[in-house]
Structure 1
């Protein structure tokens, strides 16, 4: 099979097309003939040598989400020919990938392989953090940093559709317009406005219940300042630095929660639980078009380096997908 391999840690051009043996499948696994694969920030970090694959995943083939057709199955639910999307621990930039069947979901009715490849990593991440860890409830106010990233466009739509009020930060007026079109109550261009002051003004200094942050660094103290009583700050990345200041007195007096997660190393049992919740609560919203995957660009597998350069430019709004 054809794969995109990381030939050495470095810039995007270290990604090269290679031939590898098609993987075998173990008990409870399926083999997917991949039609499309999502591109994510962790893929870029893995390529740079900053995010090694967990045990059992290919060390030099990135890719955390795919969509395609079941080629072989050792799993009770899936049969040959089924159309699925899957959350994988690595190896998604390949024509075939083996994955535990519990980490797969049916492609929602009416969605293409390209649209379905935009779902697993993104939607699993949003549900895990905002709805599972964050214990989101209808009426909550949620601040989502990086509102036009793949995570951001999914989170805005999911929170809005399930009864929340969304605030978000973005890097341009074009992205501001898109975030608000997707359902954000207010999108803030962080390059021209202070998001802390904007949130305080817009919420009458009451703040927000949940913050999903992928920025870290100096955002940390400002996030703490705009959390409401018993609010939750949930970290999923630290693009601007892993060290941030936390005013412990504010944490104690307002009973705040500061937490975070990484999805990739979690076991299949955990991912199955999240997948079941998505299939019940979110898949119907995709099928009736209440929410939709936002695809920015489709790039052939052979041009994976260009996809990574686009990801690093942060020009995109929504998902970048590799096509096969």
Structure 2
């Protein structure tokens, strides 16, 4: 089968053997796959797959079930999307059946390919770890990203006010169209967010360069969830502020979580988030679709930091 692997800083189309479908797994004929920042990092040599995971790129895909392993609760022909630790950017993928979700009614496979990774990340970090509830104020850095766009919609659906930091006025307007109350342009500095503070939950994929200001803007008993290091990894903080406000600083990754944890997260998504698509409260944010053979262009587009929502690679 054809698949995408990292080669000298670029995604490269290669021929590899199709994976085996083991007990509890399903084999998916992949129709489309979402492109994520983790894929960029892996191609750059900065984010290798966890031990035992394929080096084929891709953390999510959508397609049709064509084989069902013993014990998996799916049927051949089911239209599904799935969360993976790797291997989604291939013509076929074999996945733990517990990490698979039905394609929401009325949604195409192209649209569904943009859902699993970003909604799993947003749900885990804002609502499970960040414990955002009605009445809270949430700050979402990189609000126009795939995860950001999912988090904004989830906040609106739950009746929670949120604000964002973004790279341009156009992207701020995009976030506001999804439900954000407002925000700032990072080029002007994020100090302007102080006008909307204090925040009960901050979702931060940036890291060091935002850390000092994040701490200043946290509410008492606030939850600051760090999910990335785009702005660096080292910073000096005034821990007296952390103690005085009783701030919980939470470091979070998803890819390296074990299968049982991901299964519980996927079940939570199915029960609590997927019905919001049918209700029209959530919509997929697939901004642009690239052919599978044009992956280099898709990766370059994502690296430009000018994407609203998600990019998708189409196989069929």
Give the TM-score band, short-chain normalised. over 0.9
Do structure 1's residue 265 and structure 2's residue 256 form an aligned pair?
yes
Residue equivalent to 1:313? 304
Aligned mates of 2:96, 2:37 — CA distance in 1: 23
Residue equivalent to 1:86? 82
Other structure's SS at 1:25 match? coil
Aligned mates of 1:314, 1:202 — CA distance in 2: 25
Aligned mates of 2:58, 2:254 — CA distance in 1: 14
1:221 to 190, 212, 220: 212
Other structure's SS at 1:320 match? strand
Check conservation: 1:219, 1:244, Cα contact below 8 A: no
The Cα of 1:322 is off from its aligned counterpart by: 0.4
Q: Structure 2: give runs of 5+ residues left out of the alignment.
A: none
Check conservation: 1:128, 1:274, Cα contact below 8 A: yes
The Cα of 1:202 is off from its aligned counterpart by: 2.9
Residue equivalent to 1:7? 7
Other structure's SS at 2:65 match? strand
1:164 to 154, 160, 164: 160
The Cα of 1:245 is off from its aligned counterpart by: 2.4
Other structure's SS at 2:187 match? coil
Runs of 4+ in structure 1 displaced over 4 angstroms? Answer: none
Other structure's SS at 1:191 match? helix
Q: Structure 1: give runs of 5+ residues left out of the alignment.
A: none
1:128-143 alignment runs, 5 A limit:
128-143=124-139
1:274 to 248, 265, 269: 265
The Cα of 1:105 is off from its aligned counterpart by: 0.7
1:294-305 alignment runs, 5 A limit:
294-305=285-296
Residue equivalent to 1:200? 194
Q: In terms of mean alpha carbon deviation, does 246-255 or 14-23 score higher?
A: 14-23
Do structure 1's residue 32 and structure 2's residue 25 form an aligned pair?
no
Aligned mates of 1:148, 1:275 — CA distance in 2: 23
Check conservation: 2:25, 2:96, Cα contact below 8 A: yes
TM-score, normalising length from structure 1? 0.95
Other structure's SS at 1:282 match? helix
1:122-167 deviation line (CA, Å, top 9, x unaligned)? 0111111111111111111000000100011100000111111100
Give the length in aligned residue pairs.
314
Aligned mates of 1:56, 1:31 — CA distance in 2: 18
The Cα of 1:273 is off from its aligned counterpart by: 1.0
The Cα of 1:191 is off from its aligned counterpart by: 1.4
TM-score, normalising length from structure 2? 0.97
Check conservation: 1:30, 1:100, Cα contact below 8 A: yes
The Cα of 1:201 is off from its aligned counterpart by: 2.0
1:100-249 alignment runs, 5 A limit:
100-192=96-188, 194-196=189-191, 198-203=192-197, 207-249=198-240
1:16-48 deviation line (CA, Å, top 9, x unaligned)? 211111111111011110000000001011001
Other structure's SS at 1:212 match? strand
Other structure's SS at 2:80 match? strand
